[in-house]
Structure 1
Amino acid sequence: MKTKITLLLAALFIGLNIGFAQQDEECMTKLSIFHEYVKAKNYDAAYEPWMAVRNKCPQFNNAIYVDGEKILTDKIEKATGADKATYLNDLIKLWTERGVHFPSKTPKGEYGAKACQLMYDNREVLNKTNEELYACFDAVYQADKATFTNPQSLYTYFSLMVDLFDAGKKPAEDLFNKYDDIVEKVEEEVKNYSESLNTLIEKEEAGTALTNKESQYKAYYESYLAAYDQISAGIDEKMGTRANCDILIPLYQKNFEENKGNAVWLQRAAGKMSEKECTDDPLFFKLVNAYHDLSPSAKSAYYLGILKDKEGKSNEAITFYKQAISLETDNFKKANLNNKIALKLKAKGSYSQARTFFREALRLNPSNGRPHLSIAAMYAASANDCGDTNFNKRAVYWLAAREAQKAARVDSKLSGAAAQSVASYEAKAPSKADIFTCGCSGQVIKIGCWIGDSVTVPKI
């Protein structure tokens, strides 16, 4: 029997890639027993031998903590009232113990955020206040920001700040600083996943099939990017009108003198005013110029471009926008800059220039499909201006649909929006009856004006 147990445990250790912390036969035997029960999802039977090993040999094997989390999660799901609170607190304690005995396998930001989120999700059972919960998240974030990456926890952390602000327990400045901090953190994570995904998208676009492992990684990256996209929208929705011009301008005016030598403060203040369309106020001019004088950068040049746009000096604005792009060294951020500039040009009706910037954004960050949708929208908006006959004008919608399809191909989180756009454009394009009447099935139509492209009439 002992031989069988020893062989089973040896196989277990190989599978978990873990070594012995100490040679204890009783712990070895009971670990094998509770692990088999966990594999069979018989968590009640696993509990007693698991607790015995946890208490006697806490450093023996990381399976104590991996399996223990499953055992306690099952207990929590079945329990109510005081018993549930006991098991919740024990799971939090288990993660702390894991950090003590297996620190290299227990990133503080990741597991700290899990503990805080567990408390938040069960705040009524554990009788936790918003102040206590925010303090929990904040301590973890400050201790290990690098591994505090869970999208849900980042949203909860910011949501608690808003709730405390609404309750009069946090000042507006703290709220705005935390908003900027979390948004920058989310952008950093989106950048990391996007860069990994871009490599795979470029391989696919080049006509090379992904391996099974690469396909799994692609799905993993896409799922996280979708989650970050969702919480970004949630963060902005939660912020709502709390950061409007009536609040921002007096706050930044009051604090300008003491912060005019602080490049981070100036950049965030100018950024928030730009984001909330407070750029007509003279304070924005002061912030931007102070920031550019103190720390010339891609962002400061971009804000100067906004100022020139406000003055109606489009050519000078473009000069500053291009300067912003040339100053930016990070391709992901450079792609975002190109997209922002393109959106401004699109809003002004400068479609040809906008497309140039959109295409550059796509080149730098091909896994973001939004520029494709923007280009498609510009094509559709130009249909009446870029065709010499009614049929050819409507044919522009085929071009718009083709562009929108590209968005879904490279960016799975846009599949729904892209499908709606494609359906809308195709409904406005010539029908099969129109194609039959003109006798132009399969012919190539050249699209004029700023578009300068061609589209093939579908064969019927």
Structure 2
Amino acid sequence: MKTRITILLAALFMSFNFSFAQQDEECMNNLSIFDSYVKTKKYDDAYEPWKIVRNKCPKFNRAIYVHGEKILTHKIENSTGADQVAHINDLMLLYDQSRENFPSKYDEGEVLVDKANLAYKYREELNKTDEQLYNMFDSAYVKDAKNFTSAKGLYTYFSLAVDLFDAGKKPAQEMFDKYDDVNELIENLIAGYTTKLNTYAAKEEAGTLTKKEARYKSSYESNIEAFENQILGSMDKKLGDRANCEVLIPLYEKNYENNKNDGIWLQRAMNRMYAKGCKEDPLFLKLVQQKNSLEPSADTSYYLYLLTGEQKYFDQTLELEADPLKKARLYKKLANELKSKGSYSQARQYYMESMKLNPSDGSPYLSIAAMYAKSANNCGDSNFNKRAVFWLAALEAEKAGRVDGRLKSAAAKTAASYRASAPSKSDIFTEGNAGQTIRVGCWIGRSITVPNI
């Protein structure tokens, strides 16, 4: 059971059943006592009065479960042997009781994941096998996937699937399926946070974001960063060479006939082959064409575009994709492909389309800045004007940090490195053009004002 940041202590007490409180003064008094102890982190002193309220008045107030988790966690961390195991099992029971007595406040998936995380942390003390632990997480996924939101739990769930594969207890396909299951849950969580973030992007750029909104924005950015950079990255690292082309191609070739009419299998197979750089193999085209014949989608059209280079497939991609965040990713993905090929003008166009749909993602600004910097030597008619391109690059990089808090540090460092390559104050003095506007040519087609010195 995680203590939600939106729950304030005052709110807990406002939820008292006052008529019940009047009937049982003992529960009221002991609740007040253990609450006071918990606030000062005197968990051992809080234990006995908390037990009285928990046992006698389990529906009295949710503080029993919010504070109870802290009390029992303290007990677990400060005990050993049989006493520690008893406290662990008691916390497991408390998780169940929280949902039993306050079902509207504790989702089934949340409770099951909290129990699984606890069991995994103390797996040696509880003598839990990897199979038993995996089944605990799997129960949460099967029963209430939408409330399986624990970053730690999602990674552990997948990690155990890999360990069971390594032990010969799960086939490769099941391990890959679990990667996709967890990856889809994480993508949905990221999409939810991103949608919320986008409501703040314009305010951030305009400087009208309130302190409260800034806190929410920071929280959403932290969650996205945790899932994108830590959990997904750790999952890919854990999977490692178990999912390279040498493994995937024979596996999918072997299973193709049995699954060629299964849209989900085809989608996951082609996605994994693309992600692992196997798109040059004939099997990738075979998968894409088969999926496209069964269920044409934005993904299949995009892959056909990459394979054939035919514009009609990319137009079809955008036509079929209705989700703005997915469409933004498609634009960015295409822009990345074009950037890698040196088609900078087209890449910039698609990066800008991506930002219109997902304004809280600052990474396209960094990509545009990098293209400017790389083109500096080709987009100026003098040494000074060539180096002036780095001012443009710095300005683009700084935009990334303004709209996307996750990139603030990286954007600042990148912008500083570009400015270091731009003309110095002495260069501006020698040139005598402070405050003048320079038109940058070639594909960039932008203007930059020389700083005043």
Between the aligned partners of 1:203 and 1:13, the Cα distance in structure 2 is 30
1:51-90 alignment runs, 5 A limit: 51-90=51-90
Name the structure 2 match of 1:397. 390
Deviation at 1:48, TM superposition (A): 0.9
Contact 1:20 1:60 in 2 (8 A): no
Between the aligned partners of 2:326 and 2:10, the Cα distance in structure 1 is 45
Number of residue pairs matched by the alignment: 442
Q: Any runs of at least 4 consecutive aligned residues in structure 1 with deviations exceeding 3 A, and if so which?
A: 11-16, 20-23
1:260-279 alignment runs, 5 A limit: 260-279=260-279
Per the alignment, do residues 319 and 377 of structure 1 end up closer, same or farther by CA in structure 2, a change over 3 Å counting? farther
Unaligned runs of 5+ in 1: 1-10, 309-313
**Residue deviations 1:309-328 (CA, integer Å, cap 9, x gap):** xxxxx3x1x33123212211
Name the structure 1 match of 2:356. 363
DSSP 3-state at the match of 1:106: coil
Comparing 411-420 and 19-28, the one that deviates more: 19-28
Asked whether 1:307 is paired with 2:289, we answer no
Deviation at 1:421, TM superposition (A): 1.8
Asked whether 1:322 is paired with 2:320, we answer no
Name the structure 2 match of 1:209. 208
Task: Provide the aligned C-alpha RMSD in A.
Answer: 1.8
- TM-score, normalising length from structure 2? 0.93
DSSP 3-state at the match of 1:446: strand
Name the structure 2 match of 1:19. 17
Per the alignment, do residues 337 and 343 of structure 1 end up closer, same or farther by CA in structure 2, a change over 3 Å counting? same
Per the alignment, do residues 204 and 262 of structure 1 end up closer, same or farther by CA in structure 2, a change over 3 Å counting? same
Per the alignment, do residues 61 and 153 of structure 1 end up closer, same or farther by CA in structure 2, a change over 3 Å counting? same
Percent pairwise identity = 56
- TM-score, normalising length from structure 1? 0.92
Between the aligned partners of 1:13 and 1:25, the Cα distance in structure 2 is 20
Between the aligned partners of 1:103 and 1:95, the Cα distance in structure 2 is 11
Name the structure 1 match of 2:105. 105
Name the structure 1 match of 2:241. 241
Asked whether 1:331 is paired with 2:324, we answer yes
Between the aligned partners of 1:21 and 1:404, the Cα distance in structure 2 is 60
Between the aligned partners of 1:132 and 1:420, the Cα distance in structure 2 is 47
Between the aligned partners of 1:292 and 1:126, the Cα distance in structure 2 is 49
Contact 2:218 2:405 in 1 (8 A): no
Name the structure 1 match of 2:92. 92
**Residue deviations 1:71-93 (CA, integer Å, cap 9, x gap):** 11221222233322221221111
Name the structure 2 match of 1:453. 446
Name the structure 2 match of 1:232. 232
DSSP 3-state at the match of 2:447: strand
Deviation at 1:223, TM superposition (A): 1.6
Between the aligned partners of 1:74 and 1:87, the Cα distance in structure 2 is 9
Per the alignment, do residues 442 and 82 of structure 1 end up closer, same or farther by CA in structure 2, a change over 3 Å counting? farther
DSSP 3-state at the match of 1:201: helix
Name the structure 2 match of 1:136. 136
Name the structure 2 match of 1:407. 400
Contact 1:21 1:60 in 2 (8 A): no
| Alignment-mate amino acid for residue 346 of structure 1 | K
Per the alignment, do residues 298 and 106 of structure 1 end up closer, same or farther by CA in structure 2, a change over 3 Å counting? same
Asked whether 1:195 is paired with 2:188, we answer no
Between the aligned partners of 1:36 and 1:381, the Cα distance in structure 2 is 61
Deviation at 1:18, TM superposition (A): 4.0
Between the aligned partners of 2:244 and 2:409, the Cα distance in structure 1 is 31
Between the aligned partners of 2:85 and 2:434, the Cα distance in structure 1 is 70
Name the structure 1 match of 2:4. none
Per the alignment, do residues 226 and 14 of structure 1 end up closer, same or farther by CA in structure 2, a change over 3 Å counting? closer
Asked whether 1:372 is paired with 2:371, we answer no
Unaligned runs of 5+ in 2: 1-8
Between the aligned partners of 1:236 and 1:13, the Cα distance in structure 2 is 41
Deviation at 1:124, TM superposition (A): 2.3
**Residue deviations 1:305-361 (CA, integer Å, cap 9, x gap):** 1211xxxxx3x1x33123212211010111011111111111111111111110011
Deviation at 1:444, TM superposition (A): 1.3
| Alignment-mate amino acid for residue 65 of structure 1 | Y
Between the aligned partners of 1:338 and 1:21, the Cα distance in structure 2 is 59
| Alignment-mate amino acid for residue 98 of structure 1 | S
**Residue deviations 1:49-102 (CA, integer Å, cap 9, x gap):** 211221222222222111111111221222233322221221111001111111
DSSP 3-state at the match of 1:152: helix
**Residue deviations 1:30-63 (CA, integer Å, cap 9, x gap):** 2222222222322112111211221222222222
Contact 1:20 1:61 in 2 (8 A): no
**Residue deviations 1:238-292 (CA, integer Å, cap 9, x gap):** 2222111111111111111111111111111111111111111111111111100
Between the aligned partners of 1:262 and 1:255, the Cα distance in structure 2 is 11
Between the aligned partners of 2:111 and 2:449, the Cα distance in structure 1 is 55
DSSP 3-state at the match of 1:193: helix
